Structure 1
Amino acid sequence: MGKQRNSNLCNTFPPCFTFTPLYLPFFLHHLSNTLAIDFPSPYKPVDNILLNCGSSGNSTTLDGRTWIGDVNSKCFPQELSQNQDSLVPNSVKQSSFASQVPYTAARLSFSAFTYIFPATTGQKFVRLYFYLASYVNFHCFKVDVAKRAGQVIRVESENSDPFYHVYSKAFFSVKAGTFTLLRVFSASLTADADGDPDDTIFREFCVNMEEDERLNLTFTPSDSNSFAFVNGIEILSMTSYLYYSTPDDSGRFPLIGEQYTYSIGNRTALEMVYRINVGGSYISSTEDTGMFRRWEPDVEYLIPRKSALPVNMTIGLIFAKIPPYTAPQTVYRTARTMGMDKAFNKNHNLTWEFPVDSEFNYAVRLHFCEFQPELVDWHDRVFLIFIANQTAEKAADVMVWSGRRKGVPVYKDYAVSMVGKEGDREKKTNLSIILQANPDDWKTTFNDAILNGIEIFKISNPSGNLAGPNPGPLPLTPPTAVPPKNLVEAKNY
C-alpha cells in the first residue's frame, strides 16, 4: 500500500523528533488555544458554584470566572453551632507559584465545620482547593520523618547540628453526604509528594444528588491537636452519565480479569486521579468542553519517554459515536503511536504507569481517534491492550470502533481491581496501561498501536469510602547551610 505524507500531519519516530522538545509543547498549546476560541464549549453547566473560602465579596479571576466569598454566604450557615468556631485568616506567606484566587484566604478551624450547597438533581463535580501556607494561630510541627508526622523530637546531623522537616498540623477528614472523600488527610505530606513546588493541592470528586437532596461538605479535624482548612470549593454539574453508567445494560463495561461486567451506579462516588492528554500538552480548565477539567501531559508516566507523536490539528472531527463534550478536540488531534518500523514495534510496547492507592477498584477510560493518512480501513492497525498486566483487548481496532471512518473520536471503558493479596498490600501500587503491536502480519497492515487520552477514577468502596493513606514522608536530608546553634530542639512555632 502506498503512503502519501500529509503536510498537516507530523509523525515522529524514536529516537528522532521532528519538533524539538521545547517547541512541540508550545506549538500544541498555541493551537489548542486557537481551537478553544474557534469552537465554543459544547456544554453549559446548570450548577456552577465557585466558593472562595475565608473571603467576603466576589472575586473575578483571569479566566473570567467569579468566585463568591463564604462569609455570610448561604452556603456557610452561621446558625450551625459548629460553624461559629471557624476562623477566616488570610494566608501569611503567599507562594509566587500560587494563583491569587482561591488561595489568598482560607476557612480554618480546630473543630468541624459544614458547607451546605443547594443544587439541582444529578451528577456533580466536587473540586477542593488547598494551599499549604503559614496561617496565623495555626502552627506547624518540626518533626523527625522517621516518626509519625505530628511528633516533636530532636534530630542530630553528622556534625551534631539538628535538622528537621516541617509539617503542618492540618490532619482532617472531608465528607460529602455519606461519602468519605478524605480521611486523616495531611496537606504537608501530600504537598511534599506531588512534586509541585507551589504547595497548592487540588482534588476532584464525582457525586450524585437525588431529588430534594442538599450537598453537605463537612471538614473535621482528626484529633484535638489538628485543624481542618479549605481555600476553595467548586460545585459543577456534569452531563448525565458522562462517567456514571446508564441504567440499562448498555452502560456496563468489562471488569478486567473477570467474566462479568461492571457498572458505576448513582450510589457510588468517584475520585479523579489522572486525566491525561496523551502525546499532547497541558489543557487548562478553560480549554475544556465547558466542565473546566484539566488535562495533564503524559510524559511523566510514559516508560520509556519516547515514541512517535502524530499530530493532525486540521482534520475535521466527527462526533458520531460519543458526545462532543466528552473531551476537548485537542485530545483527539494528538496521540502517541509506535511508528512505522514493524521490526522495532514487534519487540517493544507503549507503556504508562500510574501510582494509585491499593485496595480500591478503578475505572479506566481510554480515548482514541484515527487521523493518520496511512490508515484507510479496518484491520490497518490492530493491537493489544493490557491494563494492570491483564488483557483488556486482544484485537483493538479503532477504525472498527469508529464505523470505519477517520476523525471519529471513540472511547473504551474498563474497570480493574487493585486490591492486593493478604500480606501484600502497600500504600501505592502501579496501575499500568500497555499497548502492544500485533505480532502477526496477516492480522494487521501496520504493526502499531495508538492512544489519545487516559482518564482514571478511583471508585468508592461499599462503605462509601474514597480516602486512601497519606504519602510517606520524604527522606530526611541535611541542610545545605549549617543551622543556628540555638536550634537545639524542635519547638512549635
Structure 2
Amino acid sequence: MNSATHLASILVSLSIVLCSITNVRGGYKPSDSILLSCGGSSDGNDADGRKWVTDTNSKFLPGSVKSTVVTADYQDPALPLPVPYMSARVFTAPATYSISVNKVDRHWMRLHFYPATYPGFSSESAYFSVSASGGFTLLSNFSAHVTAKALSLAYVVKEFSLPASEDGIISLTFTPSDKYNGSYAFINGIEIVSMPDLFSQPASLVGFSDQTLEVGGVGLQTMYRLNVGGQYVAPSNDSGMSRTWYDDSAYLYGAAFGVTNEATDKVRVDYPDAEAEYIAPTGVYSTMRTMGPDPTINRNYNLTWVFSVDGNYTYVVRFHFCELVHTKVNQRVFDIYVNNRTVYEDADVIAWASSKAVPVYKDFAITVTDGPGDDQLWVALHPSVDAKPQYYDSILNGLEIFKMSSSTGNLAGPNPEPSQMLLKAEANLTAGSFKTESHSSSVIILAPVGGVVAAAVVIAVVAVLYKKKGRMPGNDSNGMWLPLYGHSHTSSNSKSSISGKSSAGSNFANVSAICRHFSFAEIKQATKNFDESLVIGVGGFGKVYKGVVDGVKVAIKRSNPQSEQGVNEFNTEIEMLSKLRHKHLVSLIGFCEEDEEMCLVYDHMAHGTLREHLYKTNNTPLQWKPRLEICIGAARGLHYLHTGAKYTIIHRDVKTTNILLDEKWVAKVSDFGLSKTGPTMNQGHVSTMVKGSFGYLDPEYFKRQQLTEKSDVYSFGVVLFEVLCARPALNPSLPRDQMNLSEWAMNSLKKGALNDIIDPVVKNQIAPECLKKFVYTAEKCLLEHGVDRPSMGDVLWNLEFALQLQETFENGGSPSADGADASGSFASSSDSVSLTSDETGVSRGLDDPAQMSTTAVFSQIVHPSGR
C-alpha cells in the first residue's frame, strides 16, 4: 500500500470515528422509544414536541382485553397539553399490555395518571395495582386521586427502570383492587424508552466500607432527580432519555442555603467519554451549589438536604460532581454523609476527575428501616478539616435517589395520607354543608392545585418530617415546597378559563377543580355578615375580614366596587395563587364570584402585616433578629416566584403590608393582583402599564414602562431599609430631603450618617458585620439600573449570611468590625473594602485571601447567574 493510499485509509477511518462521536454527543439514541396515548382517538404531540401514538387497535393491547375509552370532563390549567392526559383507558378487570422491546437494554418506564372525573367513573373509586414482567410489583392498591389530593398535584407520573427482558416482551398488567367495591384501574400514558447501562457499577454499601451492592439486575423507582444549584431541566434538554431534573432548593434543611453558581462561557463541561454524557446532561454539571465564602462558618455547619421516602427499602443515592472553579488537588475537600453516616471521607472532585470541568459520579446504597420516624433520608456535606484543604467548602452538582426492588420484586409504597382537614372540607363541599364550629385552628386548609408549585408536598408534611427528626427549630424559615419527582410543571400552554366577572362562578369551572368555590351565603356566614368588628385590614382591593371556615381561621378579602382594583386583579390573584404553593407565599383557599360580589379566602395570618410590627402600631416593635428572619422568608418567597416555576412571575407590589406573618412569625408574600408573568429569554422585559405603590416603585420601570424581576428587587430594597429604619417608604410630613426613604437612606449612606436613621429599638442589637452585609445588600437592590441589581437569589444568600454573622456575634463570636467604627457609624460598603481576584476567579478581600470580602457577595464564583 503506498503512502497516499495509506493516508486516505487513515482519513476515512478517522472520519468514521468522528461521525460516530458526533452522533453519540448528539445525545443517546434509544433503540426503543414507545409513547402510548392510552384511549386517545388519534396520535398527538406533547408539550415537549414528542409524538404519542394511540393505543386504540394497537398491537400492544390484545383485542380480547375489555376496556373503556374515556375523556376527562375538564382540562386542568396545569396540564402542559391534552396529550397524553385528557384521554384514558379504564379497566374493570385485570388487563395486560404486551410491548415488544429489544432484549439487551434496560428500559425506563413512565406511567402517567390524570385523576380527573371521567364519564361514568369517579376518580375516588380507582384503586389498583400495576405489575411488570420479571416479577416486579410497581404499584399496589394505588390511588392516583389520593396521591394527587394529598400532594397537591394536577397529575402524577411514576418512573421506573427495569432490567433487560429475556424474551423481548415487557408485560404491564393493571389489576383493580379487590379491597374496594367498584374499583377500577386506569392509565393515561405509558412511556417505554431504552436506556444505556447507567447502573453497571456497583454501589458502595453504607455502613460496610468493604462491601458493594449490585444494582444492574434489579428494578428501580426514581424517587428524586435534582439539578443541584440549577433550575428545572425539561425532558427535551436531557441526554436523549427524557428525564426531568428539578431544582434542589426545596429540600435544603436549615437556614444555610449555600451559594449557587453556573459555568461561564470559558468553562465547558468536558465528558471523559461518550458513555459519561448519558449519566447527566450538561445542564446539571454546569451548575453547582457550594457552602459560601466564609471558612469559619463553613466549618460549623453542614450543607443538608432532607427527603421523604418509604421505609423498609434500600435506596441508591447518586451524587453528581463537576468542579468548575478549582484546578488542583486538595483545594476543596469534604466529607459526605447519608442518614448521619459517613459514606465518604476526604472527597476531592479534582482527585477523582484529574481535571477541572470533568464530571464524575458516586453511588451509595443505604437501607431505610420501617420503624417510627424512619421515613426520611438525609444527605449532608461538610468540609474536611483534617485534610486541611485550601478552601473549607463542599460542592454538589446533581443528586438522584432510586428505590431498589425488594427480594420479591416489590417497589410499591403506600398512598400518601391526605390532611384530615382537607378531607373534611371536601366532604362538606360535596354535601353542600358549611360549618363554623370554633374548635382548634391549628390545621391549615390546602386546596389541591396544579402547576410546578402545585407539585408541592404540603407544609404540614415538612413540619411532621422535621419534628420526627427532633430537629424542628421553633422559628425555622426553611422547609418550603417539596415537589416529588415526576409531578406536573407549568407550561406555556397552561391557561386558565378565568375571563371576567359573571354570576355563579361560571367562568371558574377549571379553577374550581383546584381551589374551593364558596357561595356568597357561605362567605357571609363565615364573616357574620361582614361584621365591621371582624375587619383586620383595608387594601386597594377592599376590606379584609377575619372569618372561620370549618373551624379554621381564614382571612376573607371582599372587593370594593369603588376600588381601582377590580376584575382583572381578582382573576390574576386566583390564577396565580391557584397554581402556587410555597411556605413563604400566602395560601389561597378559595374564592367567591356571585351576585356582583368578588371575595378571596386565604389562610389567616395571626400576626398581620410586617409593617404592623415596625412603627405606628400598638404592637411591640420586633427585635432585630426576628426582623432579619422575616426578610429572609420574604426573599425566599420572591426568589421562588422569579425562578421556581418554568416562567418568571413578577410580583409588582412588594411592600411591608404585603408581607404577612403567621402564628409562628413565618413571613408569607401576599397580594398577587398586580403580578405578571415575566419575560422570556428573548424579550428581557415585559412592556406594561406602570402599576405598584409609590415609594416602592422601581424608577427605571416607571420611566420606561419595561418590567423585569429586578423591579421586585428594587421594591425589596426599600423594604429592607424600612425594616432597618422603622419608617414609611413615603412620609410627606417630613422635610423634602427625607420624604422618600430610599433616597434618604442612600444619601445618608454616602455621607456616612446611616447610624442616624437606624431604628433606635434595634440599633444596639445589630452586629457590626451583620449591619454591613444587610445595608450593602439593600444598597445594591436600589441601584438605578436594573441590570446592575442583584437577583433575588443573591439577595437571599446575603441575608442568610447576615443572619449567620448576627448569630455568631450573639453566641460570643467576634467577627471583624471592618467598616464600622467604635461609635457604630457606617461608611459606604462600596468604599470600605478593596478587592483582588485570585487564579480561581473568586473575588477576595486583600486583608484575608482565605475569605471573600463583603463587596464580593454578588460574584462569589466566576458567573453566578445560574439560579
TM tier, smaller: 0.7 to 0.9
Q: Separation in 2 of the partners of 1:232 and 1:376?
A: 46
Instruction: From 44, 57, 79, give the equivalent of 1:72.
Output: 57
Answer 1 or 2: higher relative contact order, Cα 8 Å, separation at least 6: 1
Alignment of 1:88-103 (within 5 A): 88-98=69-79, 99-103=81-85
**Residue 439 (structure 1) shift:** 2.6
Is 1:443 aligned to 2:443, yes or no? no
Letter of the 1:190 partner, please give it.
T
Is 1:453 aligned to 2:398, yes or no? yes
Once the two structures are superposed, residues 345-384 of structure 1 have per-residue CA deviations (whole angstroms, 9 ceiling, x without a partner) of 0111100001000100001100001111xx2310001111
Q: Separation in 2 of the partners of 1:480 and 1:219?
A: 28
Letter of the 1:255 partner, please give it.
L
Is 1:230 aligned to 2:212, yes or no? no
Query: Between Structure 1 and Structure 2, which shows a larger proportion of helix residues?
Result: 2
Instruction: From 90, 98, 105, give the equivalent of 1:108.
Output: 90
SS at match of 1:88: strand
RMSD: 2.2
**Residue 472 (structure 1) shift:** 1.1
Instruction: From 256, 261, 272, give the equivalent of 1:320.
Output: 272
Counterpart of 1:129 in structure 2 is 112
Contact 1:41 1:288 in 2 (8 A): no
**Residue 213 (structure 1) shift:** 3.0
Contact 1:170 1:228 in 2 (8 A): yes
Counterpart of 2:101 in structure 1 is 119
Q: Separation in 1 of the partners of 2:227 and 2:37?
A: 29
**Residue 425 (structure 1) shift:** 4.5
> In 2 relative to 1, CA 87–264 (structure 1 residues): closer, same or farther, beyond 3 Å?
farther
Q: Separation in 2 of the partners of 1:209 and 1:346?
A: 46
> In 2 relative to 1, CA 479–128 (structure 1 residues): closer, same or farther, beyond 3 Å?
closer
SS at match of 1:324: helix
Question: Bigger CA drift: 407-416 or 261-270?
Answer: 261-270
Query: Between Structure 1 and Structure 2, which shows a larger proportion of strand residues?
Result: 1
Counterpart of 1:256 in structure 2 is 206
Contact 1:274 1:457 in 2 (8 A): yes
Contact 1:313 1:330 in 2 (8 A): no
TM-score (norm 2): 0.45
TM-score (norm 1): 0.78
**Residue 438 (structure 1) shift:** 1.9
SS at match of 2:236: helix
Letter of the 1:443 partner, please give it.
K
Instruction: From 361, 379, 382, give the equivalent of 2:330.
Output: 379
> In 2 relative to 1, CA 355–209 (structure 1 residues): closer, same or farther, beyond 3 Å?
same
Q: Separation in 2 of the partners of 1:323 and 1:484?
A: 53
**Residue 461 (structure 1) shift:** 0.3
**Residue 267 (structure 1) shift:** 3.8
**Residue 112 (structure 1) shift:** 1.4
Letter of the 2:100 partner, please give it.
P
Give the number of aligned pairs.
402
Is 1:396 aligned to 2:352, yes or no? no
Q: Separation in 1 of the partners of 2:296 and 2:54?
A: 60
Q: Separation in 1 of the partners of 2:315 and 2:286?
A: 26
Counterpart of 2:250 in structure 1 is 300
Question: Bigger CA drift: 363-372 or 254-263?
Answer: 254-263
Contact 1:119 1:215 in 2 (8 A): yes
Letter of the 2:240 partner, please give it.
G
Alignment of 1:14-413 (within 5 A): 41-79=26-64, 83-84=65-66, 86-98=67-79, 99-121=81-103, 122-140=105-123, 168-177=124-133, 178-196=135-153, 199-223=154-178, 224-239=181-196, 241-242=197-198, 244-245=199-200, 251-304=201-254, 306-314=257-265, 315-320=267-272, 323-372=276-325, 375-403=326-354, 405-413=355-363
SS at match of 2:84: coil
SS at match of 2:69: coil
Contact 1:106 1:231 in 2 (8 A): yes
**Residue 486 (structure 1) shift:** 6.5
Contact 1:103 1:131 in 2 (8 A): yes
Q: Separation in 1 of the partners of 2:226 and 2:47?
A: 24
Contact 1:88 1:105 in 2 (8 A): yes
Once the two structures are superposed, residues 33-70 of structure 1 have per-residue CA deviations (whole angstroms, 9 ceiling, x without a partner) of xxxxxx96421100000000011321123432111111
Q: Separation in 1 of the partners of 2:98 and 2:404?
A: 24
> In 2 relative to 1, CA 483–111 (structure 1 residues): closer, same or farther, beyond 3 Å?
closer
**Residue 445 (structure 1) shift:** 0.7
Contact 1:380 1:444 in 2 (8 A): yes
Contact 1:174 1:180 in 2 (8 A): yes
Contact 2:226 2:248 in 1 (8 A): yes
Report the structure number with the largest CA radius of gyration: 2
> In 2 relative to 1, CA 481–170 (structure 1 residues): closer, same or farther, beyond 3 Å?
closer
**Residue 265 (structure 1) shift:** 4.6
Q: Separation in 2 of the partners of 1:279 and 1:237?
A: 29
Once the two structures are superposed, residues 277-312 of structure 1 have per-residue CA deviations (whole angstroms, 9 ceiling, x without a partner) of 001000000000100000000011011362111221
**Residue 443 (structure 1) shift:** 2.1
Q: Separation in 1 of the partners of 2:234 and 2:225?
A: 12
Contact 1:192 1:474 in 2 (8 A): no
Letter of the 2:358 partner, please give it.
V
Q: Separation in 2 of the partners of 1:195 and 1:486?
A: 22
Contact 1:180 1:465 in 2 (8 A): yes
Q: Separation in 2 of the partners of 1:262 and 1:468?
A: 25
Q: Separation in 1 of the partners of 2:88 and 2:430?
A: 32
**Residue 313 (structure 1) shift:** 3.8
Letter of the 1:96 partner, please give it.
P
**Residue 484 (structure 1) shift:** 8.9
Q: Separation in 2 of the partners of 1:487 and 1:343?
A: 58
Q: Separation in 1 of the partners of 2:230 and 2:258?
A: 12
What is the percent sequence identity of the aligned residues?
Answer: 40
**Residue 456 (structure 1) shift:** 0.5
Please list every run of at least 4 consecutive aligned residues from structure 1 whose deviation after the TM superposition is greater than 6 angstroms: none
Q: Separation in 2 of the partners of 1:133 and 1:50?
A: 21
Contact 1:358 1:425 in 2 (8 A): no
Contact 2:203 2:214 in 1 (8 A): no
Alignment of 1:424-443 (within 5 A): 424-425=371-372, 429-440=375-386, 443=388
**Residue 344 (structure 1) shift:** 0.7
Contact 1:252 1:262 in 2 (8 A): yes
Letter of the 2:48 partner, please give it.
D
Q: Separation in 1 of the partners of 2:193 and 2:306?
A: 30
**Residue 266 (structure 1) shift:** 4.7
Q: Separation in 2 of the partners of 1:481 and 1:461?
A: 37
